[in-house]
Amino acid sequence: MDFVTGSTPGALMPIGVCYSDEIPAREVASLHAFGKHVPRSVGGPVLITRSTSGTSDDIEHVPAWRWLLQG
């Protein structure tokens, strides 16, 4: 997990960044570990990747270009 967005404990969303299409296990593990300790009410964790999109292990994968355009 690289950063967290949100202003209140009930509205935090963990975000990981991995500029690769192969996601290392440590990225998934850190996002899941955060979820065990902090309840999520804004949605699940997000992993920003080079070009992978979709969902796996309850983590949303978003390509970097798409994430930047959403902001």
Q: pLDDT tens digit string along 15-41?
A: 999 988 888 999 999 998 888 887 665
CA 51 to chain centre: 14
Q: pLDDT tens digit string along 38-71?
A: 766 566 899 999 999 999 988 999 999 999 998 6
Report the pLDDT value the prediction gives residue 49, as an integer from 0 to 100: 94
What's the pTM value of the predicted model, to 2 decimals?
0.83
Going from the C-alpha of 15 to that of each of 23, 45, the distances in angstroms are: 14, 6
